[in-house]
Each structure stands twice: as structure tokens, then as C-alpha cells.
Amino acid sequence: MVFKKTFSILATATLAVGLLAGCSGGNKDQNASNGGSGGSSGSNVIKIATQTPLSGGSATLGESIKLGAQLALEEQQANFEKLGFKLELVPYDDQGDPKKGVANAQLIGADKQIFGVVGHLNSGVAIPSSEIYEKYSIPMVSPANTATDVTDRGLKTVNRICARDDFQGPAGAKFAIEKLGAKKIFIIQDKTAYGSGLAEAFKKGAEDLGAQVVGFEGITVGEKDFNGVLNQVLAKKPDLVYFGGLYTEGGQLIKQARDKGITVPIMGGDGLDSSTLVQIAGDAVKNVYMTSAAGLTTATDAGKQFAEKYKQKFGKDIESYSAYGYDSMGVLLKGIENAIKENGNKLPSRQQVAEGVRKVQEYEGVVTKVSFDEKGDNKYAKIYIYKFDEAKYPAKLEDEVSKQ
Amino acid sequence: MIEQVLHTLPQVLIDGLALGAVYAIVALGYTMVYGILELINFAHGEIFMTGAFVGTAILLTFSGLGWITSMPAIITLVLVLIVTSVLTGLLGMGIERVAYRPLRNAPKLITLITAIGISFLLQDLVRFITELKNGNYILTGPNLFNKQIGIEASSILSVFNDASVKSSFFIVLGVAIVMMITLDFFVNRTKWGMAMRAVAQDRETAALMTVNVNKVIALTFFIGSALGGATGVLFAVQYGTIDPYIGFILGLKAFTAAVLGGIGNIRGAMFGGILIGLLEMFAAANLPIVSHGVLGAEYKDVFAFAILIIVLIFKPEGLFGKVTVEKV
């Protein structure tokens, strides 16, 4: 019996040692190959990484950012060739998962030829990953992260070209009051960090503009019956209902509100921005407004041209964030170019590149103009307001509100 | 203040009844299984959810074939209800056979954990299939009963505001009442019902009196699950959109309703369900008014559960529960 036990322990130990040995061997190989490629391609290669979800539920959006960035990089290749540098794109898949994002960020940090990152799609991934970028001084330009914490931590390397969440609420309030003439507003939120944050911001914005908030109520995520809250809405007779939350509850709420005969405009944030909202609410979605940090790319001539180029090259239609991927890469490359020039046409350090990116001013992209402020937020970022006129996705662009 | 509460009262009652009827029938499934096996079948909420998905899938197939427009909506509904309840009934029987019967003599806690495991399994199975077929696990079914009916409550009492009802409300309430009455009749007036009550009281003695215990337990699971599945269909008809996670919160509340009414007691479960539905709706609509804005509508669940705690303090066996009398 004892003998048997010893034997099994021995066997396990052997297996474990074997596994470890296998692992370390693999690592050595990897290091060797990294070193090798570095040596052979010389020191004039500048790699730019993208970190977006390329697999999983939001792969469509993640890939569209990558493709947009790829298009911008390829267009700039000739320009950088003249300066004596070779541009390369290294796409990483963060799977929309913070753990994976951080692991990739470590790999990116270890690759000395990477001078910048375009990403991420999810704020939850961008925040921990950017701590690693900061450690290695790799500049990040985000196309899509709207959470306030992304730039509020005061990191030197983190920049974004889209708007902030805390601007979405006030922008929505401004539109509701000035354009829709709302005076009595009923606010419903879903008690999540996103939903109640947005609703609070909207409430403050609305009260500052002189509207009366007649109700501020919460619902529970996962429930399907919101008639109780809607009975309150019915009793208060507001002329606008604002919802801070996501499309699942939003769609149900809109449908039940219309069933109850609440016909006033309903407004929400980018959490409603999904084709599923239209599926759930059906015809009830008419007269629903939503604010979003993503602009309609095809609203301008430059945007239309971009959409055509994109379609021609990749055989796909653009998504809402394709052009933001393109512009993020554009801004990043602009910053690198400036850093190279300041460094006397020699390869700059990562710190110099990060400073160069932060200094970018008045960059004309296809969807947005970019000037970074001291925190890395874009001064020209806009909030776009969409309206559903019929049960069809996407909604119609109604207005845009800019900070300045 | 009272006037404000009265204004919305008719509408609140209607909405509360619709929600309460759903809670009540789901609570029946909990209470029946508990009565007979002393097992809290946490998978019951998921059987309800599966029923909603099966029903919606059938409805979507019908509308794909163009049958919905050619058939009266009520016949379609009855058809879907029957097919779904047979399917979920068999599902419930299968779960009992595979997961609970081998553990019948194991400690209660083990069966309870198994039930939780089954509920995760069902959730992800349904999500997987739906995503495969639909590309998205949130499913919206066709609208069967969408007519709005105005009720002129103000003509009864002038403080009332007029209420409006979706026609599906009557369907939900009607079907729920029919199901509850049938079940009550079945348990109290038929031979099989008597066997069920006998097994609930004392399994061994019932077996000695030539009651086939395994069969009776299987039947209990069939009926409970069939009712749960049918309620799922009613839910899908009333609210339109379903996802694989609707069973969790609803199951929890239905279980609460069963406890409130006295777990193991069928009439208690019905009453408890309707009471919880009404309380919840009333709280959601009136808490801010009654508390002068201190408590918002989000505290409706706290309110409903506080009532539960108060009831259980004074009557631990629940409103209808009697300490020794019949349990099924």
C-alpha cells in the first residue's frame, strides 16, 4: 500500500517536472525567435499593435477597428518609407477579456519594436491593459473607450479620440431641452454603474438647464415587467422619459410604455445602440432618441470615400467604429512622425513617441477632428444624437453636440 | 397622498394580477414537488424558461409557415400550450428520472445542489441552441394578442384614473385560473390525486397500500413541469421578449410565493403568488409617494420580502400551511 502511494507520488512528480520542462523549453524558443527576428529586420522597423476582440461576441466590432487601423497604416507606409522606416501592423485579440488584454499588453511591452497601440473596444479591458502600456511607455490611442476612468487616471500614454461618458448625459439633456422642448422629465435607471452614472449625469445636466425632474426611479436588470414604474410615469405625465441602461431592459421598457399609452419621446444612451433593441421593441421604437459617441461615418464626403475604400479593400461594409480605428491609427502615426522629426530623423524612444502623440493638435480625421488635452481626451469629441423614425436599425442621425 | 395612490389603483391591480398569476403557477411547481419529496426543485424556474423558449419556437415556426394569420389566435395559443406543456412535462419527468431518483435516499442537500446544477445546465443548453439558430440569445416572438382595451374605471369611482389592458392580460389570467382550478380538482377529487396526497403524507405507508410511489412522483414532476412550461408560454405571450435567464429571478420570487402561502400547500401557492405580484406592483408604483420620495421604486423587492419576513415571524408555516395536514 505504502509502496503504491510512493509510486503514484513519484509518477505525479515526474509528470509535473516534465510539464514544467516543456514549458520553459517553449519559452526559450520563443525568446530566441523574437530576438532573431529583431536582429534580421534591423532597427528601422516600427510596429503598431491593435488590441481588439477578434473572436467572441463583439468580434465584428473588434475586427472593424483592426481593419480601419490597417487601412490607415497601409496608406502611410510610403510616407514612412521616405523617412527610412518600415511600418508593420501586429493585431492582437483581447477577446473582450481584461485578463487576456493584460497578458497581450505584457507581450506588446516586451516587443521593443512596437511603438504604439490602437485599442481597445471595451473600457473594462482598456483600463487594466493601459497600466501595462504606461509601465512600458507605449502610447495608446483608443477609438471607442468612453468610460471616464480611462483618461481620469492621468496616465501619460493613454489617449482617446471618442467622447467621454460623463459628456453623454449632459449632451442628451441639452438636446432634450433645447430641441425637444422637454420641461418635465422622468428618469429611469437600471442601478448598474453604467446606467445610474449616465442617468445621474443626465439629471444634473437637465436641472442645470432648468428642466424639472419629476421622478428618478430604478429597475432591476433581468426583470421583464416594468409596469410598476411605468404607472408612476403615467401618473406624473412627463414630456420626456430618459432611460439609463442597456437595450434588453430598454427595449422591454419602451414596448410596455407604448402599450400603456405613454407616447412622449423616450431617450437613452449608447447602451440602447443595438439592432436587438429594434427587435424587442418593434414598432414601439418610433420616437426613441439615443446618444452615442460613435458618429455616422457616411455623413461627410471624406467619410463616404473612406467607406468606399474600406469596402473595396476588405469586401465588407463599415461598422460604426471602423472609421474610429482608422483615425486612431492616423493620429498615432502622426504623433510618431512628429517624434521622428524632432529626434533628427532617427528612431525615437517610446517616451518621445508618447509625448509626440499627446502633442497632436488639429488632426483632421475622417469622422472627427482630434486635439488632445492634457488628460488625453479629444477636445473635438462629439456626442451624436440618433432618432428612430421607424422600426429599423441603424437609427437616423438627428444632431451632434460638441463640447466647445 | 391617498388620492394619488387611488388614481393609479385600477391599473396597478391589473398589472399586479397579470404578474401574480404567473408567479402563482410557477409557485405551484415548487410547492407540489416540495410537498411530495421535500425537495426544493431549483430547476423549476429553468423549466419555466424552457417552456417559454419552446413555445416561442413553435410560434415562430407557425408564423414562418403562415399559419398564424389563417388561424384564430386563441386556437394557435391552445395548440402551443398543449404541445409545450407535454414537452416540458416530459423534460421534468426525465430530470427526475436521471438526476433526482438515484439520489432519493441521499441527504437533502445533495439533491438540492443537483437541482442547482440542472438549472445551470438548462440555462446554457437553451442559450446555446438559441444562439445557434438565431445568432443571439434574446428571442422576440410574434405578437398574438396586442389589442389595447380601455377600462373606464373613472365611471365606477371618480378618483380612479382610466386603466388600459392588453388583451393578452385576459388570456394569461384566464388560462392561469383554468389551470389552477383543474389542478385543484385533480389533486382533491381523483384517484391519482389521492395517491399523490398519500405519498406526500407518508411514502412508505403509501407504498404498503399498493401505491406505485415511483409512478406518482414521476406524475407529480410531469404535472408541475407541464404547468411551468405552459406558464412560460403565457409569459412569452404577455411580455414578448425572452432570454435564457428569465427563470432565475422569477423562480426565486415564485419560490418565495410558495413559502408565503405555506410550502406544500397548493391553494397557498396560488394565493401567495398573486399576493406577491400585487405587492410588488403596488410598491413599484407607490413607494415614492407613500414614503415622500425617500424610497424609490427600486425598493419594491425589499418591500415584498419584508412582508414575507413579517408573515413568517408570526406564522412560520406560511399563510395557508398547517403543521400536519395534507401536503402535495
Kindly list the residues from chain B whose CB atom is less than 8 angstroms away from the CB atom of residue A217. 288, 296-298
Q: pLDDT for B114-132, tens place per residue? A: 999 999 999 999 988 988 8
Closest CA to A235 of A271, A193, A179, A184: A184
Q: Which of A3-17, A304-318, B91-105, B115-129 has the lowest mean pLDDT?
A: A3-17
Q: What pLDDT was estimated at residue A294? A: 82
pLDDT > 50? residue B176: yes
A229:B166 CB<8 A: no
Q: What pLDDT was estimated at residue A27? A: 41
pLDDT > 90? residue B93: yes
Q: What pLDDT was estimated at residue B322? A: 66
**Measured between CB atoms, does B243 come within 8 Å of chain A?**
yes
d(CA B10, CA B142): 28
Pairing outcome for strands A396-402 and A382-388: antiparallel
d(CA A302, CA B12): 54
Q: pLDDT for B214-254, tens place per residue? A: 999 999 999 999 999 999 999 998 888 888 988 888 898 99
Kindly list the residues from chain B whose CB atom is less than 8 angstroms away from the CB atom of residue A279. 138, 140, 241
d(CA A75, CA A86): 12
Q: What pLDDT was estimated at residue A7? A: 61
Q: What pLDDT was estimated at residue B323? A: 59
pTM recorded for the entire structure? 0.75
d(CA B306, CA B318): 14
For residue A35, name the pLDDT band (cuts at 50, 70, 90): very low
Best mutation target, B241, B250, B282, B287, to test chain A (most A CBs within 10 A): B241
Q: What pLDDT was estimated at residue B177? A: 87
Q: What pLDDT was estimated at residue A18? A: 53
Q: pLDDT for A53-62, tens place per residue? A: 988 767 888 8
Q: What pLDDT was estimated at residue A6? A: 63
pLDDT > 70? residue A185: yes
Kindly list the residues from chain A whose CB atom is less than 8 angstroms away from the CB atom of residue B285. 228-229, 231-232, 235
pLDDT > 80? residue B166: no
Kindly list the residues from chain A whose CB atom is less than 8 angstroms away from the CB atom of residue B148. 259, 261
What is the mean predicted confidence (pLDDT) over A251-257?
91
Residue range A166-292+385-402 in CATH 3.40.50.2300 = yes
Q: What is the DSSP letter of B99?
A: I
d(CA A137, CA A335): 14
Closest CA to A129 of A161, A104, A92, A163: A104
Mean pLDDT of chain B: 86
Does B26 fall in a domain?
yes
3-state secondary structure of B276: helix
Q: What pLDDT was estimated at residue B158? A: 67
Which of residues B319 and B230 earns the better pLDDT score?
B230
Q: Which of residues 286-305 of B touch A (CB under 8 A)?
A: 288, 296-298, 300-301
- For residues A369 and A362, the answer to whether their CB atoms sit within 8 Å is yes
Does B143 fall in a domain?
no
How many domains are there within chain B? 1
Q: Which ranges in chain A are annotated with CATH 3.40.50.2300?
A: 43-163+298-372, 166-292+385-402
Full residue range of the structural domain in which residue B276 is found? 2-137+168-314
Instruction: Spell out a b/e string for A270-298, using b for 16 or more CB atoms within 10 Å of the CB, else e.
Output: bbbbbebbbbbbbebbbebbbbbbbbbbb
pLDDT > 70? residue A367: yes
Which of residues A300 and A92 earns the better pLDDT score?
A92
Q: Which of A145-154, A353-362, B146-155, B294-303 has the lowest mean pLDDT?
A: B146-155
pLDDT > 80? residue B156: no
Does B154 fall in a domain?
no
Q: What pLDDT was estimated at residue A42? A: 52
If phi > 0 it is left, if psi is from -120 to 50 it is alpha, else beta; for residue B111 that is: alpha
Does B151 fall in a domain?
no
Q: What pLDDT was estimated at residue A11? A: 61
Does B148 fall in a domain?
no
Bridge partners for A13 per DSSP: none
Mean pLDDT of chain A: 85
Amino acid present at A283: D
What is the mean predicted confidence (pLDDT) over B58-63?
87
B11:A261 CB<8 A: no
CATH code, domain carrying B96: 1.10.3470
Q: pLDDT for A44-78, tens place per residue? A: 899 999 999 988 767 888 889 999 999 999 999 99
Q: pLDDT for A16-33, tens place per residue? A: 555 555 444 444 344 433
What is the dotted CATH code of the domain comprising A43-163+298-372? 3.40.50.2300
What is the mean predicted confidence (pLDDT) over A87-106?
93
Q: Which residue of B has its CA nearest to A233?
A: B285
**Measured between CB atoms, does B249 come within 8 Å of chain A?**
yes
Does B160 fall in a domain?
no
